[in-house]
């Protein structure tokens, strides 16, 4: 552990959060945001507000060079105005890209107060709304990190292989926009981020430090959003998977929508293209969000957390941890309807 980043402490508010949902997470990992709200409200007894009027931060459009920065600042200002309207001061965006965008916007306003005034004017002219700058901007993973020990005391399971008694080997991957743009805004900064590593260690697991730990997950916005560039996207994911393979990780955990998606879905594509999987038994390496990881250990129903939606199925991981689940409920909807089972991939085992 590098003593310099160990000494660094990020300010994370204790309570009263305004939550902003991600554009894509509810589609790709539908249980994660709900699990986060449940953990905060039911496990930690915190006040967190989830406004139904929220909207995009423009992040994907901004990083794809479609949305100009002036627009991004005004759209972010409208989100801040919702927070202000409800009397909150601590802003918590679910998405790492949003966290990066908000950090950039706030930093820009700090360096160029005239742009803040211009944004206030733009927002007022367009919507008649006003806003205050958040006192504390943190990512939800920061909050789970802050209360990781308290949560550990409430957990039903630990990150331990119930067959061998050994700690599970966990690859943690941080979204680039969490700490690589503004290193001092991330717990542990950019080189050895500690936000997920801290959770893993506190909950009984062992962090895998592999050579391509800091490498891009493969999303990289333009690598994927521009169809012709998708070869770059998958080759980056492949580089990471190859680098972590010798360590035989039990699963991967991330704090970014894009990272979870690409590290998960590209495993299927690589298996189809090259008949290659990155675990010994051909099931692939499960990729979880940190909310899913916390929810599982707290004893939440894996199917309510949405694990069946992932490409790489986590059933073997649940068995390893010793989590009780009903396999018959795996494809049962909220209404009780059993949905059709998805088709099995050719190579990747399910």
Partner 1 sequence: MTTVAIVGAGVAGIEAASVLAAHGVKVKLFEKEASVLGNLRSKAFLFPNFQASDQIVDSLTAKLLVDGIETITAMEIVDIKHTSDGWHLSDNKNHDYLADAVLVSTGYKVFDAARKEELGYGIYKGVITSLDMEAMIKADKLVNAVNATPRKIAFLQCVGSRDEKVGNHYCSKVCCVTAVKQAIEVKKRLPQCEVTIFYMDLRMWGQGFEEMYRTAQEQYKINFVRGRISEAAATFDGRIQLKSEDTLLGLPLKMTTDLLVLMVGMEPSEGTVNLGKKCSICGDYGFIQSTNPHLSDNTTAIDGLFVAGTAKRPMTVQDCVNDGRSAALAILSRIDTTGNLGAE
Nearest CA to 78 out of 140, 8, 126, 114 is that of 126
Which stretch, 63-71, 89-97, 187-195, 308-316, contacts partner 1 (CB under 8 A)?
187-195
Under rule CB under 8 A, how many of the chain's residues touch partner 1? 17
Please say whether the beta carbons of 250 and 168 come within 8 A.
Answer: yes
Report DSSP letters for 210-259, one per residue: -TTTTS--S-TTHHHHSGGGHHHHHHHHHHHHHHHGGG--SEEEESSHHH
Considering the complex, state which of residue 153 and residue 231 has its C-beta at the smaller distance from partner 1: 231
Which residues, 294 to 313, sit near partner 1 by CB under 8 A?
none
Residue written as token pair 């901007």: 137
Selected from 184, 191, 274, 324, the binder of partner 1 by CB under 8 A is 191
Options 124, 182, 192, 268; binder of partner 1; rule CB under 8 A: 192
Which span (197-205, 206-214, 256-264, 342-350) binds partner 1, by CB under 8 A? 206-214
Residue linked to tokens 């495993």: 267
Q: Which helix (H) or strand (E) holds 17?
A: strand 17-20
Q: Taking contact as CB under 8 A, which single stretch among the options 13-21, 70-78, 97-105, 211-219 is the one that binds partner 1?
A: 211-219
Closer residue to partner 1 (CB): 190 or 199: 190
Which of helix, strand or coil describes residue 330? coil
Residue 92 sits at φ, ψ, to 5 deg, of -130, 95
Binding of residue 339 to partner 1 (CB under 8 A): no
Contact present, 312 and 286 (Cβ < 8 Å):
yes
Rounded to a whole number of angstroms, the minimum distance from the CB of residue 2 to partner 1 is 6
Binder of partner 1 out of 49, 210, 232, 325 (CB under 8 A): 210
15, two tokens: 């309570």
User: Cα(144)–Cα(290) distance, rounded to whole angstroms?
Assistant: 8
Q: How far is the CB of 211 from partner 1 (least distance, A)?
A: 4
CB of residue 129 vs partner 1: minimum separation in angstroms?
Answer: 40
Segment interacting with partner 1, rule: CB under 8 A, options 58-66, 204-212, 220-228, 307-315: 204-212
CB of 314 to partner 1, least distance (A): 25
CA 305, CA 278: separation in Å to the nearest integer?
A: 24
User: Binding mask 242-281 vs partner 1 (x if CB under 8 A, - otherwise)?
Assistant: ----xx----------------------------------
Stretch that binds partner 1, among 3-11, 34-42, 67-75, 141-149 (CB under 8 A): 3-11
- 305 and 32 in contact (C-beta within 8 Å)? yes
**Contacting residue, 4, 184, 324, 326, with partner 1 by CB under 8 A:** 4
Question: Which span (2-10, 87-95, 227-235, 262-270) binds partner 1, by CB under 8 A?
Answer: 2-10
Q: Please say whether the beta carbons of 298 and 291 come within 8 A.
A: no
Between the alpha carbon of residue 273 and those of residues 238, 277, 287, the distances in Å are: 12, 11, 20
Residue 117 interacts with partner 1 (CB under 8 A): yes or no: no
CA atoms within 13 A on the CB side of 278: 28
Residues in region 29-88 near partner 1 by CB under 8 A? none
| Binding stretches for partner 1 (CB under 8 A) | 1-5, 189-192, 209-214, 246-247
């Amino acid at each position: 552990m590098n003593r310099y980043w160990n000494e660094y402490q990020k300010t994370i508010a204790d309570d009263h959060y305004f939550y902003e949902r991600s554009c894509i997470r509810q589609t790709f990992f539908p249980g994660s945001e709900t699990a986060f709200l449940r953990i905060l409200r039911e496990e930690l007894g915190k006040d967190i507000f989830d406004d139904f009027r929220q909207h995009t931060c423009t992040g994907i459009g901004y990083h794809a060079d479609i949305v100009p920065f002036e627009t991004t600042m005004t759209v972010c200002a409208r989100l801040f105005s919702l927070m202000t309207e409800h009397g909150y001061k601590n802003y918590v965006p679910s998405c790492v890209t949003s966290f990066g965008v908000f950090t950039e916007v706030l930093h820009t306003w700090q360096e160029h107060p005239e742009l803040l005034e211009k944004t206030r004017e733009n927002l007022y002219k367009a919507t008649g709304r006003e806003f205050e700058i958040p006192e504390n901007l943190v990512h939800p993973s920061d909050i789970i990190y802050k209360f990781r020990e308290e949560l550990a005391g409430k957990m039903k399971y630990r990150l331990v292989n119930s067959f061998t008694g050994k700690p599970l080997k966990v690859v943690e991957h941080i979204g680039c926009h969490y700490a690589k743009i503004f290193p001092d805004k991330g717990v542990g900064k950019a080189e050895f981020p500690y936000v997920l590593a801290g959770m893993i260690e506190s909950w009984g697991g062992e962090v895998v430090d592999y050579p391509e730990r800091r490498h891009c997950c493969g999303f990289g916005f333009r690598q994927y959003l521009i169809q012709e560039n998708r070869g770059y996207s998958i080759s980056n994911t492949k580089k990471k998977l190859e680098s972590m393979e010798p360590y035989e990780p039990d699963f991967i955990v991330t704090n970014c929508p894009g990272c979870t998606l690409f590290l998960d879905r590209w495993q299927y594509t690589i298996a189809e293209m090259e008949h290659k999987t990155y675990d010994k038994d051909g099931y692939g390496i499960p990729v979880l969000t940190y909310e899913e990881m916390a929810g599982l250990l707290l004893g939440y129903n894996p199917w309510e957390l949405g694990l069946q939606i992932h490409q790489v199925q986590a059933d073997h991981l649940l068995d390893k941890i010793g989590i009780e689940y009903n396999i018959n409920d795996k494809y049962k909807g909220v209404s009780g309807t059993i949905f059709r089972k998805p088709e099995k991939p050719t190579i990747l085992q399910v």
